[in-house]
Structure 1
Amino acid sequence: MPDPMTSSPASPKTDLRRADINPDFWYPLAWSKDLKRGKTIGRRFGRFPIALVRPEEGSVFALEDRCAHRQVPLSLGKVSGEAVQCCYHGWAYGRSGRCIDVPYLGKGKLPNGVKTYPCREAGGMIFVFPGDASKAESVPLPPLAQVDNPAFKTRHFSPVVKCHYTFLHENLMDMNHQFLHRRQMGQIKARFLGQDAGENFIEARYSFARTGNQQPLAERLIFGKHHDDPTREQPVEEIVSIRTTYPYQSLKIHDKDGDLIMELFSVYVPNTADGMSTQTFGLLSVLRPKTPFLIDLIWPALGIFTHRIFEEDREIMELEQNAWRELGGDHNVEVFPIVRKLRDLLAANGAAPGTDTTAQAEVSREQPADPVVV
């Protein structure tokens, strides 16, 4: 019998890196600022290409990014009124996904259309519900850090990481990897304080002890200077909580008085058919200092600092993915209990590999009863 402390919970039959993300949630596919009026852009949710369309008037809508005629991406088309026209022959589709015009046919001979996806905007992001559309109204959008709170300043980030989305959940949840960031963070050690768990979430709490006297400038400007005694370990008084509420992840930092001073929201969206590349959408909210305009002065330094940290994470996660590929599966030996529970949570809530769990929209792609010959 394998030792439970040295074996991974993912068996060969349930390799975590082969599990698809569950589509029955709201996922951002683009930033609102990137889609102008009268334009369309193409994005992917795993195997599914999706066109986001912002008409001259009205809200954004989302369609399958394939014209029903020759399968050309609709995201290359022209927005005309409340519809998008395919760039090839000008077939037009409205927000319902139905074909509403073929320029060289009579109105009575229009073919059926393409799939449509529920679509919303919030927090400066365009969200799509890729799964069973009948569930969209009952599934809430996730809490988006403090993006609407004027007491906080929020920055956006959206790097692509060439790995399965589960690696990103594990990376953030396991604060024991601070050794990786020693050049950016100085010498600190994570101390695990406890956890909470439920059917669809798991949370870990940490504090940090600084074992050296190097404190990064960005950290000092945001949290204040920590007066270190070089003769002994000094605790960092902030408490860090990391929570995966499937499929989203958050990180919150509270000060010694229990006040929230920083919050991170992240969601990881597979952007290739094989699921081995992930588009990250993140919101990082920082409490504004009492000194006016200080946050604006330190904002560039914070951006550089967080970018360097993430680049170190990106490199290591892509190395993990490369090892998985070379070894032909998941050979990780996980001993940290909180990560073992996280892996179980991700496996339990994910979709079986290759399962088409997206429900068909009202509009079918089947040929009409009177086929159109073109």
Structure 2
Amino acid sequence: MQQATTATEQPADRANAPRYDLRQIDVDPNFWYPVAWSSKVRPGKAFAARFAGHPIALIRPEYGPVYALEDRCAHRQVPLSKGVVDDKGCIKCCYHGWAFDQQGKCVTVPYLNKEGVGRPVKAYPCREKSGLIFIFPGDPDLADKVPVPDIAQVGNPEFKTRQFSPRLKCHYTFMHENLMDMNHQFLHRRQMGSITARFLGQDKGDNFMEARYSFARKGGNQPLAEALIFGKHHDDGREQPVEEVVSIRTTYPYQTLQIHDKDGDLIMDLWACYLPLGETQQVTQAFGLLSVKKPKWTFLLDLAWPVLGLFTHRIFEEDREVVEMEQNAWRELGGDHNIEVFPVVKSLRDLLARSGVPNRHAQPLEQG
């Protein structure tokens, strides 16, 4: 992988640091990024994944932990993910049988029968947590110093959790902006009726940005899935009390959405990471988990689960369409022409810009 200047190496004086088009800011590689669901990588098999234009082979031996290598054999650059996992847990290239171990060392060139002949391939630090396989694509010496994130309420028996992993034709920053800005509920009027977001406040720091909202129903019928999670809300013409608080937080590079009821109890917990796939990072694979608090009668949530899944899918498809339209406009106009007025999103954009890494196509913007 081409070495890039990380966010921690950016100029300390941010006021004098060059500014770049946000859609030309790559993610900082010095974090743990999910690249596959655990269930996709079966024992004794290899699986092809990607990170920002770099092919990754995930290998799960029959015994022992999964590991990650560059998905190119050092011999003829054939994908190692097409190979065979041997009884020692090594991956053997499908072409000539070169074998590589968990550290990427070539341990066998079978037709020469001597050591030190084959070249190694790049190995990535790899961890498995909460049903996801993570790699650390940056400086491997930093991997043990950076924690693998905690994810929603996976493993908490009081919650029921679903996975989602859509692919979107847009830069990952559009996804952060979309979720953080709850003022776009007009987009979802067909799914949710007429509701208004009420901004309750924000917090921010060097590596995070959080905004809090409540919602008031202004008309239309409340969707069944929403009522099952939050309870029934009606518009009776009066000022509606704050029943739930929705907190959206980008803790770079991850994003969460949590909903607490009026008593302060957590009732929904969403975690998402937007994995860039292509070299320009304008295609994104989202990995997300949504945890919903089980009601007293658990079977009610089980019965409603398909309805909830359909509801969230429809909401996401509307978001997908609009962020992909934003990306298309960026291409047609030759850059970011967005006019942002919401202070929360302005702060978020600043966080994403200073935390990421300008890519090789980025040119400093004129100051002013």
Secondary structure of the structure 1 residue equivalent to 2:153? coil
Residue of 53, 61, 70 corresponding to 1:47: 53
Paired position in structure 1 for 2:142: 135
Query: Does the 8 A contact of 2:75 with 2:119 survive in 1?
Result: no
Contact 1:27–1:128, Cα closer than 8 Å, also in 2? yes
Summarize the alignment of residues 94-109 of structure 1 with structure 2, pairs less than 5 Å apart.
Answer: 94-109=101-116
Aligned to 2:219, what secondary structure does the other structure show?
coil
- Structure 1 residue matching 2:128: 3-state secondary structure: strand
1:133-162 residue CA offsets vs partner (Å, 9 max, x unmatched): 000001001120001110000000000011
CA drift of 1:292 comes to 3.1
- Give the C-alpha shift of residue 233 in structure 1: 4.9
Q: Do 1:165 and 1:270's aligned partners in 2 also have CA atoms closer than 8 Å?
A: yes
2:356 is the alignment partner of 1:340: no
> How far off is 1:225 after superposition?
1.1
Question: Of 149, 161, 182, which aligns to 1:154?
Answer: 161
Distance 1:12 1:108 in 2: 50
- Residue 103 of structure 1, CA deviation: 1.1
Question: What TM-score do the two structures reach when normalised by structure 2?
Answer: 0.91
Partner Cα separation in structure 2 for residue 97 and residue 109 of structure 1: 13
Residue 276 of structure 1 pairs with residue 282 of structure 2:
yes
Residues 53, 60 of structure 1: 8 Å contact kept:
yes
Q: Which stretch of the first structure deviates more once superposed, 134-143 or 346-355?
A: 346-355
Aligned equivalents of 1:204 and 1:74: distance in 2?
A: 44
Matches within 5 A, 1:258-273: 258-273=264-279
1:76 corresponds to 2:88 = no
For 2:59, what is the secondary structure of its paired residue? strand
SS across alignment from 1:170:
helix
SS at match of 1:25: coil
- Is 1:197–2:204 an aligned residue pair? yes
CA contact (8 A) 1:269 1:280 kept: yes
1:40-90: per-residue Cα shift (whole Å, max 9, x none)? 111111021110000111000000011000111111111112100111111
Matched, 1:226 2:237: no
Equivalent residue, structure 1, for 2:366: none
Q: Distance in 2 between matches of 1:334 and 1:349?
A: 19
Distance 1:66 1:227 in 2: 58
Amino acid at match of 1:122: K
Question: 1:232: how far off?
Answer: 3.7
Identity, in percent, stands at: 67
RMSD: 1.5
Contact 1:74–1:85 under 8 Å retained in 2:
yes
**Which residue number corresponds to residue 172 of structure 2?**
165
Aligned AA (1:275): Q
Whether the aligned pair in 2 keeps the contact of 1:12 and 1:329 (CA below 8 Å) is no
CA contact (8 A) 2:108 2:118 kept: no
Number of corresponding residues:
345
Equivalent residue for 1:182?
189
- For 1:21-36, what aligned pairs fall within 5 Å after superposition? 21-36=27-42
Q: Which residue of structure 1 lines up, in the alignment, with residue 326 of structure 2?
A: 320
- The answer (yes or no) to whether the contact 1:210–1:233 under 8 Å persists in 2 is no
Within 5 A, what are the aligned runs for 1:109-128? 109-128=116-135
In structure 2, C-alpha distance between the alignment counterparts of 1:293 and 1:254, rounded to whole Å: 22
**Structure 2 letter corresponding to 1:293:** F
Q: Distance in 1 between matches of 2:45 and 2:327?
A: 35
Residue identity matched to 2:100: Y
1:109 CA displacement: 4.3
Specify the SS of the correspondent of 1:14: coil
Of residues 237, 243, 251, the one that matches 1:237 is 243
Q: Using the alignment, how far apart are the partners of 1:109 and 1:195 within structure 2?
A: 57
Residue 7 of structure 2 corresponds to which residue in structure 1?
Answer: none
Q: What's the secondary structure of 1:294's corresponding residue?
A: helix
SS at match of 1:107: coil
Q: Report the Cα offset of residue 235 of structure 1.
A: 4.3
**Structure 2: which 5+ residue stretches go unaligned?**
1-14, 362-368
